Amino acid sequence: MKRLLFACLAVLAWASVGHAEGPLQDILQEHRALIEKPSRKTISPAIDDIASSGLDQAQRMMQAWEAKNLWQRAEDGLFFIGKAQGQALTLTDVDTGEEIETEKSAADQLKPNAGVRRLISSALVQFQLSDPNEARRLDALESIARRPEAEHLAPLQASIEGEENRAIRARKERLVKLLSIAFAETPEQRVEAINGVSGDLNLEVRAALNPLLATTRKVTDVIPAGENVAKIMRLGEDITRDEAYAALVEAGFATKRLTPAAIKDILAANIVDGQVGGVPVADLDTPEARDEAYRALAAADTVPPFVSAEEVDEKLRTHVIYDAYNEPNGDVTKAAQSALKAIDLNVGLNQAADLGLDALSLASIYFLAAIGLAITFGVMGVINMAHGEFIMMGAYTGYVVQQVIPNHTLSLVVALPLAFIITFAAGVAMERLVIRKLYHRPLETLLATFGISIALQQLAKNIFGTQARPLTAPGWLDGAWVLNDVVSISYIRIAIFVLALCFLFLFLFIMKKTRLGLETRAVTQNPRMASSMGINPDKVNMLTFGLGSGIAGIAGVAIGLFAKVTSELGNDYIVQSFMTVVVGGVGNIWGTLAGAAMIGTLQKGIEWLNPSNTLAAQTFMIIFIIIFIQFRPRGIVALKGRAAGD
């Protein structure tokens, strides 16, 4: 008896758990018929009631429904979240979360179609937009941005007020504007949203506005009232006669006209007793005779109807071909056009700013590469064709240091002074061994330094090989400073610009505040007078040549951070360095700066006009410089003294 009573109590307990209903189950049962046989057109009331219930368990249940994990128990019609393993099935109560073990045959799996799942997914957005986890909120926003729908607008607007994260709140506000452009209830609201993004450079704005200006080509005899017409095609200007008639034929307003070749083929296929349509074959040697024969065949309904030129003209005269906006509201399309014009203007201004930044960046690179050449050329009058190889030596120094010191920041700190020391020593050695014996013999100096250049390139190939070597920038120089979707500049180029400024101020300090600078200026202005005042011109020349070579080595380290480090690295900058010095003014730091700015701006401007042909850009730049030198042979900032006299 006790066993029987215990069994009855167990059954009652199981039944009470299995049949327990809660607030969410009540909603599901209310819409039971819709959920059992859902369709995109009928399921919305059920989804809306579940989503607006405010129940915490609603999100979990809808996620299971979307994933086809919602089950309905056969014996009582209650809904559960289910997980099947073979023939076993675990049912989880949608309200309490309690689990019930049963057989798979005891319940039916609900499998909503793709349209219903999209509606469920849209309804889930309101839960995800207010999720405590910031990552999930961001994922929901990105999901909306990828596939915006009208159903997203209301929950997105509702979630803004409670958003505490400023970045996420700004993202939500932007998406509300973008969704309002397409899905706001009234045209006035859409126009207001469009005006709110006027001039915005974000690509998402263009993606939202461009569909509003999409058009469809239409043909009619009378343009319908209220049609949002983009443009009426003018015959002979916007559309050819043949294209216009083809549009009429495609729209069903005219009969297709056969080509002369097609008419000939049809006539040839309808020759009977030496005649076609009563016209002898021998007389079919003119277009008029062929047209007459074809008309006769058409009158007998043996061939397609004949369309004369007059009939074509009449059809074109009585019909209109026009492009109509897919967006029916004219105020919306006008606002979109105005917004896109403002965006185009803003894009143009920002492209000019971006081009200016690129030019400034390139100018700083040229200045860094040419400053050493400007010193040696200006003070000593020596044309050093091996200057590019000092740049190459500096770059390889940075590479070798990185092999020894893996930390890229520390290796860069070590490489910069070490490159200066190595190339300074190499410059002093070249001046002592070669340049000193060739003063006032420019042709021999040019040939000698050119030979040294080739020898240094070959030496680099023998040591490092012909493959490019990596010179990796520190992690804090990765990426770019992005101002907006148009204007950006890499951190490496910013660092090179700062380095160029540092060398500008360092050079000015040396020339204006140190004894070496005073002696250098004296030798530059009048070497004989400087010698008579106790200054050793040979020593000044040696130190000056070493200083210029050392700066080239530092420039090599900087350039190697973004360029390929090879034995030919110097060749890419030697020509521009000489052009920078000559255009700016030999031996003057301000002239070098002005020359670098001019060359960098000119090159970027020509590349922008002709982006597909960099060789042509360099050619045009050289031609311009040749013309410039004809009018200003001493450069932008002419130097007084020995260099000027030379």
HEC string for 501-525: HHHHHHHHHHHHHCHHHHHHHHHHH
Which residues are registered as beta bridge partners of 99?
Answer: 92
Burial zone of 304 (CB within 10 Å; 0-12 exposed, 13-18 middle, 19+ buried): middle
Residues of the chain within CATH 1.10.3470 domain(s) are 347-645
In three state form, how does the secondary structure of 38-67 look? CCCCCCHHHHHHHHCCCCCHHHHHHHHHHC
pLDDT at residue 238 tops 70 = yes
- Residue 458 CA from chain centroid, whole number: 40
Q: Give the integer Cα–Cα distance in Å for 51 and 1.
A: 50
* Residue 598 CA: distances (Å) to CA of 93, 580, 617, 636: 75, 8, 14, 10
* Residue 394 CA: distances (Å) to CA of 411, 507, 559, 635: 13, 19, 9, 29
The token pair at 331 is 């105020």
Q: Give the integer Cα–Cα distance in Å for 594 and 637.
A: 8
pLDDT at residue 401 tops 90 = yes
Q: Give the integer Cα–Cα distance in Å for 385 and 448.
A: 8
Each residue's pLDDT tens digit, 621-639? 778 888 887 778 777 776 5
Each residue's pLDDT tens digit, 112-127? 888 888 888 777 777 7
Do residues 525 and 379 make contact, with C-beta atoms less than 8 angstroms apart? no
Q: Give the integer Cα–Cα distance in Å for 614 and 608.
A: 10
- 85: helix, coil or strand? strand
Q: Give the integer Cα–Cα distance in Å for 196 and 440.
A: 69
Each residue's pLDDT tens digit, 259-284? 888 888 888 888 887 787 778 877 78
Q: What is the pLDDT of residue 572?
A: 78
H or E stretch covering 589: helix 589-609
* Letter string b/e over residues 588-601, b meaning 16 or more CB atoms within 10 A of that residue's CB: bbebbbbbbbbbbb
pLDDT at residue 178 tops 50 = yes
Q: Give the integer Cα–Cα distance in Å for 224 and 325.
A: 13
Burial zone of 226 (CB within 10 Å; 0-12 exposed, 13-18 middle, 19+ buried): exposed
Mean pLDDT computed over every residue of the chain: 83
pLDDT at residue 599 tops 80 = yes
Average pLDDT over residues 505-515: 84
Domain 347-645 annotated CATH 1.10.3470: yes
The token pair at 29 is 């049962």
Do residues 572 and 366 make contact, with C-beta atoms less than 8 angstroms apart? no
Q: What is the pLDDT of residue 614?
A: 62
One-letter identity of residue 340: L
Cα angle 16, 19, 23 (rounded to 5 degrees) comes to 110
Q: Give the integer Cα–Cα distance in Å for 267 and 294.
A: 7
**Which 8-state DSSP code applies to residue 233?**
P
Half-sphere exposure of 484 (CA within 13 A, CB side): 15
Q: Of 391, 377, 378, give the one whose Cα is nearest residue 549.
A: 391
3-state helix, strand, coil in the chain (%, to 5): 65, 10, 25
* Residue 287 CA: distances (Å) to CA of 281, 283, 294, 430, 564: 13, 10, 10, 88, 69
Q: What is the pLDDT of residue 15?
A: 41
Q: Give the integer Cα–Cα distance in Å for 153 and 162.
A: 16
- Confidence tier at 422 by pLDDT (50, 70, 90): very high
Tokens 């058409």 sit on residue? 298
Q: Give the integer Cα–Cα distance in Å for 427 and 560.
A: 20
Q: State the first-to-last Cα distance of the chain, in angstroms, to the nearest integer.
A: 127
Q: Give the integer Cα–Cα distance in Å for 131 and 235.
A: 59
Cα angle 459, 465, 467 (rounded to 5 degrees) comes to 135
pLDDT at residue 11 tops 50 = no
Each residue's pLDDT tens digit, 307-341? 888 888 888 899 999 999 999 999 999 999 999 99
pLDDT at residue 555 tops 60 = yes
Cα angle 483, 489, 491 (rounded to 5 degrees) comes to 110
Q: What is the pLDDT of residue 644?
A: 46
Do residues 374 and 581 make contact, with C-beta atoms less than 8 angstroms apart? yes
Which residues are registered as beta bridge partners of 85?
Answer: 88
Other CB atoms closer than 10 Å to residue 445's CB: what's the count? 21
